Amino acid sequence: MPKTTPVTFASPTKPAGWTWEATNQEVAARYGLPIEQVVRFDQNTAPAPPGAVRELLVGGEFEVALSEYPPSDYGRLIAAAAARYGVAHEDLLVGAGADEVLDLVAKTFIPHGGAAVVPIPTYPMYGILTDQRGARVIRVPRLGLADGYALDTEAVRSGVRSVEGGANVVWLCNPNNPTGTFEPAGRIEALLAALRTDAAADGRLAPIVLLDEAYIEFAGDSHHVLRAAYPRLIVARTMSKAYAIAGLRVGFAIATPELIGEISTYRPPGSVSIVSVEVAAALLPDDDLVRSRVADVIAERARFAAGLTGAGWTVQPSATNFLLVSFDSPETADTVAESLLQRGLIPRTFPSGHPLDHCIRLTVRSRAQDDRLIQAAREIAA
Ligand SMILES: Cc1ncc(COP(=O)(O)O)c(C=O)c1O
């Protein structure tokens, strides 16, 4: 694209924004259901926080000075995260969930009039944040279902090169939401090596690569070690999924101290509450917590998938705490979603024209909650 191409928001009047499924209250009111019967299968959250959280909050194992702001350096939390992730304190930045980390990365590295590459389908925030910066979203397709929706290395490379000076950021997600898939071994390494080679050949800086590992605990090893070979890599982590504290909003960026320093400029003074800081710092050192939660989710995921398959639904393989279920058409997916809502079960849906508009996404929740969904699937299929 020539430099002079004007950059506009996706809509001429308004930047792109997040769209939510209905709230519990809305679903209860719309279908005349008791609110306690409504279950969220749309947000990839856990059915309950770890038991230790209740002890901490109710038992008062720590004293939370609610009248004060959190410590400006989030020192205790950073120390606990550094030990957990095996990184230096200087390689970490705390955010209000991974979402704030993504927002700060966009603010820091995507200038107005810039560009970022988004391999789709993926987490919508990457395109939204890029659009909100007044930058161009370069959407490149992932490979198809038969190839596990893996990254198409060549498509990403040419996406980066499609703008003069190269795209500023490449947004990656592994395991990927909403496909639930983990990249084949070596794919991310190969992509980073190719991006570095291309940048050297073009005589420009390599793009920032934001690798969102929100679901990594369910899938395998983090790729954060690759920042040694590709210093412009930033990895986003969260305590919302495997640690089951989405409501507390705790996430991290892992990157070189230089990049962390750059991002820190945009960090608000105290976006993570003092309660969140204390609980997160207390959970991180627990070696067994994630291991046992992940094992439970993986076992329940297999049972849930088998139940849905038994009801005649097509469930894609998953390396996460959610399942992608595909139907024969977008219309069938819409009908199924509506039938689930009538029962107080909220699925994640995809808008018309989305590559997965014939699918719904379902969080793996508790056995009892998943059984309600399996039963609904049987009734809907009948
Ligand atoms: C890929 C991905 N990244 C980030 C987030 C947001 O995580 P957090 O709760 O840490 O903001 C989500 C939440 O669903 C997600 O799926």
Q: Write out pLDDT tens, residues 178-187.
A: 999 999 999 9
Query: How far, in Å, from the CA of 152 to the mean position of ligand 1?
Result: 23
For the residues 365-382, what does the mean pLDDT come to? 95
Phi-psi region of 166 (alpha: psi -120 to 50; beta: other; left: phi over 0): left
- 274 in Cβ contact with 249 (< 8 Å): no
What is the predicted pLDDT for the residue at 4? 41
What is the predicted pLDDT for the residue at 64? 76
* pTM, entire model: 0.95
Q: Is 276 in the pocket of ligand 1 (CB under 6 A)?
A: no
Q: Does position 57 have pLDDT exceeding 50, yes or no?
A: yes
Per-residue model confidence as pLDDT tens digits over 14-29: 889 999 999 999 999 9
What is the predicted pLDDT for the residue at 100? 98
E strands, 55-180, are 92-95, 115-120, 136-141, 169-173
Give, to the nearest 10 degrees, the angle between helix 287-310 and helix 367-381.
20
Nearest to 209 by CA among 157, 251, 278: 157
* Cα–Cα dist 176/40, whole Å: 20
Q: Does position 240 have pLDDT exceeding 70, yes or no?
A: yes
Query: How far, in Å, from the CA of 214 to the mean position of ligand 1?
Result: 6
Across the chain, mean pLDDT equals 95
For the residues 144-156, what does the mean pLDDT come to? 97
**Atom nearest to 100 CA in ligand 1:** 11
Query: How far, in Å, from the CA of 203 to the mean position of ligand 1?
Result: 34
| Residues of the chain above pLDDT 90, percent | 91
What is the predicted pLDDT for the residue at 54? 85
The encoded tokens of residue 185 equal 């071994």
Q: Is 239 in the pocket of ligand 1 (CB under 6 A)?
A: no
* Cα–Cα dist 95/87, whole Å: 17
Say how many C-beta atoms besides its own lie within 10 A of residue 280's C-beta: 25
77 alpha-carbon distance from chain centroid:
21
Q: Is 91 in the pocket of ligand 1 (CB under 6 A)?
A: no
Per-residue model confidence as pLDDT tens digits over 289-318: 999 999 999 999 999 999 999 999 999 999
Q: Which of 1-5, 259-263, 307-311, 334-338 has the lowest mean pLDDT?
A: 1-5
pLDDT confidence tier of residue 2, bands split at 50, 70 and 90 = very low
The encoded tokens of residue 375 equal 């039963």
Q: Is 354 exposed, middle or buried, given 0-12, 13-18 or 19+ CB atoms closer than 10 A?
A: middle
What is the predicted pLDDT for the residue at 10? 64
- 80 in Cβ contact with 239 (< 8 Å): no
**Atom nearest to 173 CA in ligand 1:** 1
* Cα–Cα dist 378/382, whole Å: 6
Query: How far, in Å, from the CA of 378 to the mean position of ligand 1?
Result: 30
Q: Is 242 in the pocket of ligand 1 (CB under 6 A)?
A: no
Write the DSSP symbol of residue 348: B
Q: Does position 213 have pLDDT exceeding 50, yes or no?
A: yes
- Which of 55 and 141 is assigned the larger pLDDT? 141
Length of the chain: 382
* Cα–Cα dist 75/63, whole Å: 16
Q: Does position 6 have pLDDT exceeding 60, yes or no?
A: no
Of the CA atoms within 13 Å of residue 301, those in its CB half-sphere come to 25
What is the predicted pLDDT for the residue at 9? 61
* Cα–Cα dist 365/369, whole Å: 6
Instruction: Name the phi and psi angles at 212, rounded to 5.
Output: -90, 115
pLDDT confidence tier of residue 345, bands split at 50, 70 and 90 = very high
Q: Spell out the domains of the chain, with CATH numbers in brackets.
A: 24-44+288-381 (3.90.1150.10), 62-285 (3.40.640.10)
pLDDT confidence tier of residue 5, bands split at 50, 70 and 90 = very low
What is the predicted pLDDT for the residue at 12? 63
Q: For a substitution probing ligand 1, which of 41, 93, 99 has the most ligand atoms within 8 Å of its CB?
A: 99
What is the predicted pLDDT for the residue at 11? 67
Radius of gyration of the chain (CA): 21
What is the predicted pLDDT for the residue at 14? 84
| Residues of the chain above pLDDT 70, percent | 95
Query: How far, in Å, from the CA of 202 to the mean position of ligand 1?
Result: 34
What is the predicted pLDDT for the residue at 1? 35
What is the predicted pLDDT for the residue at 3? 39
Q: Does position 166 have pLDDT exceeding 90, yes or no?
A: yes
